[in-house]
Amino acid sequence: MSKLVEERERVVVRFAGDSGDGMQLAGSRFTDATAAVGNDLATLPNFPAEIRAPAGTLAGVSAFQIHFASRDILTPGDAPNVLVAMNPAALKANLGELDRGATIIVNEDSFTKRNLDKAEYRSNPLEDGTLSRFRVHRIPMTSLTTRAVEAIEGATMRDAGRAKNLFALGVLSWLYGRPADVTRRWIEMKFGRKPAVVSANLAAFNAGWSFGETTELLDVQYRVKPATDVAPGTYRNVNGTTALALGLIAASVRSRLCLLLASYPITPASELLHELSRHTRFGVRTIQAEDEIAAAGMALGAAFGGRLGVTATSGPGMDLKSETIGLAVALELPMIVVDVQRAGPSTGMPTKTEQSDLLTAMFGRHGESPLPVIAPSTPGGCFGAAFQAASIAIRYRTPVILLSDTFLSSSSEPWLIPAVGELPEIDPAFATDTAGQERLLPYSRDERLARPWAVPGTPGLQHRIGGLEKADGTGNISYDGLNHAHMTELRATKVAGIARELKPLTVDGDPGATLLVLGWGSSEGAIRAGVRAARNAGHEVACAHLHHLNPLPANTGDVLRSFDRVLVPEMNSGQLALLLRAKFLVDVESYCKVQGQPLFAAEIERQIGSIVTRGPATSSGNDAGTARRISNGA
Amino acid sequence: MTAVATNANGGHPLSKADFQSDQETRWCPGCGDYAVLSAVQQFMPELGIPPERIVFITGIGCAGRFAYYMDTYGMHGIHGRALALATGLAAMRDDLSIWVVTGDGDSLSIGGNHLIHALRRNVPIKILLFNNQIYGLTKGQASPTSELGKITKSTPFGVADHPFNPVALALGAEAAFVARTIDRDRQHLTGILRAAARHEGAALIEIYQNCPVFNDGAFAALTEKDVKDANQIRLEPGRPISFAAGERGVARGRTGALEIVDVEDVGHSALIVHDPDRGDLGLAFSLARLAEDPTGPTPIGIFRSVRRPVYGRAGPNVAHDPIPDAQLAELLAAGDTWTVAAGPQHS
Per-residue pLDDT of A396-426, as tens digits, reads: 999 999 999 999 999 999 999 999 999 999 9
Length of chain A: 634
H or E element at residue A625 = helix A624-627
Asked if residue A632 has pLDDT above 80, the reply is no
CA distance A562 to A405: 30
Closest residue in chain B to residue A468, using alpha carbons only: B76
* A302 Cβ under 8 Å from any chain B Cβ: yes
ipTM: 0.96
Res B10: pLDDT: 60
Question: pLDDT tens, A121-138?
Answer: 999 999 999 999 999 999
Are the beta carbons of A230 and B57 separated by less than 8 Å?
no
- Cβ of A464 within 8 Å of Cβ of B81? The answer is no
CATH topology of domain A235-422: Rossmann fold (3.40.50)
Tell me the residues of chain A between 20 and 39 that have a Cβ less than 8 Å away from chain B. 32, 35-36, 38
* Burial group, residue A201, by CB count within 10 angstroms (0-12, 13-18, 19+): buried
Q: CB under 8 Å to A573, separation ≥6 — which residues?
A: A356, A590, A592, A594, A630
- C-alpha A34/C-alpha A300 separation (Å) is 42
**A380, pLDDT greater than 80:** yes
Buried b (16+ CB within 10 A) or exposed e, B28-43: eeebbbebbbbbbbbb
Cβ–Cβ gap A417/B332 under 8 Å: yes
* Shortest Cα–Cα distance, B347 to chain A (Å): 8
Q: Check A466 against B317: CB less than 8 A apart.
A: no
Encode pLDDT of A12-34 as tens digits: 999 999 988 999 999 999 999 99
Q: Which of residues 264-293 of A touch B (CB under 8 A)?
A: 279-285, 287, 289-291, 293
Residue closest to A508 by CA, chosen among A485, A526, A531? A531
Domains present along chain B, CATH in parentheses = 16-235+278-284+296-330 (3.40.50.970)
Beta strands A399-405 and A373-374: pairing type?
Answer: parallel
Contacts of A253 in chain B (CB under 8 A): 322-323, 325, 328
C-alpha dist (Å) from residue A236 to A64, A103, A413, B218, B336: 19, 29, 8, 67, 6
Work out the number of other CB atoms within 10 angstroms of the CB of residue B201: 23
CATH number belonging to domain A508-627: 3.40.50.920
What is the percent of chain A where pLDDT is above 70? 96
In B, minimum Cα distance to A285 occurs at: B318
CA separation for the pair A341, A364 (Å, rounded): 14
Q: What would the mean pLDDT of B11-39 be, rounded to a whole number?
A: 94
Q: According to DSSP H, which parts of A215-349 are helical?
A: 240-255, 270-276, 292-304, 316-331
Give the separation between CA A149 and CA A203, rounded to whole angstroms. 6
Residues A215-242: what's their mean pLDDT? 88
Greatest C-alpha distance within chain A: 89
Contact list, B117 vs chain A (CB under 8 Å): 289-290, 294
Per the CATH hierarchy, to which homologous superfamily does domain A4-223 belong?
Pyruvate-ferredoxin oxidoreductase, PFOR, domain III (3.40.920.10)
CA–CA dist A160, A157 (Å, integer)? 5
Is A192 buried (19+), middle (13-18) or exposed (0-12) by CB count in 10 A? exposed
Residues B231, B233: Cα–Cα separation, whole Å: 6
pLDDT-based confidence at A161, cuts 50/70/90? confident
Question: Letter for the amino acid at B36?
Answer: V
In what helix (H) or strand (E) does residue A312 lie, and over which residues does it extend? strand A308-313
Among B95, B323, B344, beta carbon nearest to A253: B323
Residue of B nearest to A424 (CA): B325
A566-590 mean pLDDT: 97
More confident residue, B81 or A20: B81
Residue-wise pLDDT for B320-331, tens only, equals: 778 999 999 999
Tens digits of residue pLDDT in A421-462? 999 999 999 999 999 999 999 999 999 999 999 999 999 999
CA A433 to chain centre: 43
Confidence of residue B8 (pLDDT cuts 50, 70, 90): low
Average pLDDT over residues B160-169: 97
Does A617 have pLDDT greater than 50? no
Domain ranges of chain A: 4-223, 235-422, 429-501, 508-627
| Higher pLDDT among residues B342 and A188, named by residue | A188
User: Does A305 lie at the interface with B, CB-CB under 8 angstroms?
Assistant: yes
What integer is the mean pLDDT of A301-309?
98
Q: What predicted TM-score, i.e. pTM, was given to this entire model?
A: 0.92
Q: Which amino acid is at A500?
A: R
Establish whether domains A235-422 and A508-627 are of one fold: yes
